[in-house]
Structure 1
Amino acid sequence: MTLPATSRGFTLLEMLVVIVLMSIGIGLVGFGLSRGLHSASERQVVAQMVQTLRTARSAAIISGETTEARFDLKQRTFQAPGQRVQQWPAELGVQLNTAADLDSAFAFHPDGSSSGGNLVLFAGERNWRIDVGWLTGSVKSRALR
């Protein structure tokens, strides 16, 4: 038994429509994935900055000496005492608010207190704030938008 000519397969137009739809779908998934990876890398930098500040606080308490976590806004780097220098990406803006005599650093004292202040990080519409309490030296981060 033979089938009529109209039911033997797909037309070229149908195949092209399927290929175009698949290309659009793959493009959208790729865009979403790259945006998610970019956002994750920004959150990772925020977490690294928080860890740097907490490391400096711990070092001050353990050593019994005042220590500083330094942030170089021109070179886009930050470092805790005894740790390697880390860099944040150029697309991430950082605003530092701390005691004027410390320039671009947070000082942590042996009793756990600190100079206090905050860091505001911004990338496009996303913003984060890292607060350093002056009395307790606690370091907390939160997303602003």
Structure 2
Amino acid sequence: MRSISVKSAEGFTLIEMVVVLAVLGLVGMVILSRGPMRSPTLELRVAAQGMAAGLRDGRMTAIVMAHPVIFTTNAAQGWYGMEGRPYHALPYGVMLADNVTLVFHPDGSVTGRTITLFRGRRRITLAANALTGSVTVRENVP
């Protein structure tokens, strides 16, 4: 009579699976409890690029529509935009140095001054060229 050999079981036991799932659950809770990953510098840059796009849109609108376009910022309430259109809110923590009004004229020129955004010690300045209306973004590293 032949002896029946017992093969070693392959795979994982139920206990091993439960332990792995518990560890993954704990790691997931730790990651989620930290909240969304944010970069203050990145948020400031994104806000500045969004505002620069709004300024360029204001310039192009003034040229195409052949009438002045007013671009306004509100430091106290944290928004910016063109008059007659919905305003855009700045991301949390990004602030304006002061209230600024720029007027884009049909010939492409602009009346106004620079706009400064900041978050903590980091600053970004947006400047519109008075003659051409072109917008430049300059990061001021502390």
TM class, shorter-chain normalised?
A: 0.5 to 0.7
Give the one of 62, 71, 78 matched to 1:69.
71
Q: Give structure 2 stretches of 5+ with no counterpart.
A: 1-26
Higher share in helix: 1
Query: Which residue of structure 1 aligns with residue 101 of structure 2?
Result: 105
Dislocated runs of 4+, deviation >4 Å: none
- What is the 5 A alignment of 1:1-145? 34-36=37-39, 38-81=40-83, 83-96=85-98, 104-145=100-141
**Could you state the TM-score of these two structures normalised by the residue count of structure 2?**
0.67
Q: Which has the larger radius of gyration?
A: 2
Q: Given that residues 43 and 91 in structure 2 are in contact (C-alpha distance below 8 angstroms), is that contact kept between their aligned partners in structure 1? A: no
CA RMSD of aligned residues (A): 2.5
Identical counterparts, % of pairs: 25
1:34 CA drift (Å): 2.6
**Separation in structure 2 between the aligned mates of residue 73 and residue 94 of structure 1, nearest angstrom:** 5
Alignment correspondent of 2:24: none
Alignment size in residue pairs: 112
AA partner of residue 52 (structure 2): V
User: Aligned-pair distance for 1:41?
Assistant: 2.3
Q: 2: distance between equivalents of 1:142 and 1:110?
A: 26
Equivalents in 2 of 1:58, 1:134: separation in Å? 15
**Structure 1 portions without partners, runs of 5+:** 1-22, 97-102
